[in-house]
C-alpha cells in the first residue's frame, strides 16, 4: 500500500468531521509542510480540529514532509497544492486527497490516483470503516460546513450510498 498525500481543504474537512482516520485506509498519511502551515494559520480552522491534527503529527499518524517545491512547478496552483503534487512525485503509488477541481485535474494529468473528501467517505463505507448512515450524515455535514459539491454529484453520491445500504447490494 502506498501513501495518502493530503491537501489543506481535505485536512480541514476531515478534521471537522472527525474522520482523519479514513485517510489511513489508502496508506500512510503524508502531509507536506506547506499544507500543515496553511492549515494551522488558515481562517477556516477551529481550535479543536487543529488540536486533533497536531496530536496526529505528534503521534506519528501524519508524516510531515519538508520538500522544497520548485518555483516553476505548476505556478498557477497555490503552494499547498503544488507541495502535494511535488511530494506525491517522490512517493511510490500515492493517492492524493485533493478537493479543488483545478488541482485534481493537474494531478490526474500527472498520472496520480486522486480522491476528494466525499469519495473518501464513500470508500470508507465500501470497506466497512463507516456505516452508510454515518457516511450520509457526514456528506450532509460536509456540505453544511461549506464544502462545494455540485447538486447532481451530491445526489449521485447519496444514491450510491443508498444502493450500498440496500440488502440487494450485499448479496441478499
Which tens digits make up the pLDDT trace of 46-93?
A: 777 888 888 888 998 889 999 888 888 898 888 999 999 999 999 999
pTM of the prediction? 0.86
CA angle 121, 94, 79 (to 5 degrees): 90
Q: What is the pLDDT of residue 136?
A: 94
Sequence-distant (≥ 6) Cβ neighbours of residue 130 within 8 angstroms: 19, 22, 121, 124, 138
DSSP tally for the chain: helices H, then strands E: 8, 5
Which of 94, 84, 75 lies closest to 31 in space, CA to CA? 84
Q: What is the pLDDT of residue 71?
A: 84
Summarised one tens digit per residue, pLDDT across range 25-40 is 888 999 999 999 888 8
Which of 76, 96, 99, 78 lies closest to 87 in space, CA to CA? 96
Beta strand ranges found along 47-132 (DSSP E): 62-65, 95-97, 113-115
Q: How far is CA 37 from CA 11, 31, 65, 85, 142, in A?
A: 12, 10, 12, 16, 22
Summarised one tens digit per residue, pLDDT across range 104-162 is 999 999 999 999 999 999 999 999 999 999 999 999 999 998 899 999 999 999 999 98
Read off the pLDDT band of 172 (50, 70, 90). Answer: very low
Structure letter (DSSP) for residue 25 = G
Q: In 10 A of CB 64, how many CB atoms?
A: 13
Decide: 97 and 29 in contact? Cβ < 8 Å.
no
Tell me how far apart the alpha carbons of residues 38 and 102 are, in angstroms, rounded to a whole number: 18
Instruction: Please give the domain boundaries of the chain with CATH numbers for all domains.
Output: 3-115 (3.40.50.1010), 119-170 (no CATH)
Amino acid at each position: 500500500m502506498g501513501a495518502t498525500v493530503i491537501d489543506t481543504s481535505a485536512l480541514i474537512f476531515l478534521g471537522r468531521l472527525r474522520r482523519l482516520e479514513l485517510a489511513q485506509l489508502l496508506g500512510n498519511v503524508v502531509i507536506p509542510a506547506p499544507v500543515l502551515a496553511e492549515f494551522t494559520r488558515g481562517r477556516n480552522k477551529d481550535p479543536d480540529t487543529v488540536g486533533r491534527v497536531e496530536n496526529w503529527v505528534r503521534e506519528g499518524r501524519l508524516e510531515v514532509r519538508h520538500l522544497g517545491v520548485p518555483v516553476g512547478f505548476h505556478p498557477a496552483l497555490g503552494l499547498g497544492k503544488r507541495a502535494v503534487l511535488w511530494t506525491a512525485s517522490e512517493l511510490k503509488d500515492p493517492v492524493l486527497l485533493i478537493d479543488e477541481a483545478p488541482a485534481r485535474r493537474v494531478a490526474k494529468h500527472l498520472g496520480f490516483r486522486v480522491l476528494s473528501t466525499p469519495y473518501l467517505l464513500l470508500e470508507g463505507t465500501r470497506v466497512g470503516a463507516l456505516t452508510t448512515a454515518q457516511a450520509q450524515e457526514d456528506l450532509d455535514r460536509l456540505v453544511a460546513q461549506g464544502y462545494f459539491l455540485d447538486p447532481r454529484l451530491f445526489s449521485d453520491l447519496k444514491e450510491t450510498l443508498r444502493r450500498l445500504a440496500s440488502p440487494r447490494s450485499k448479496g441478499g
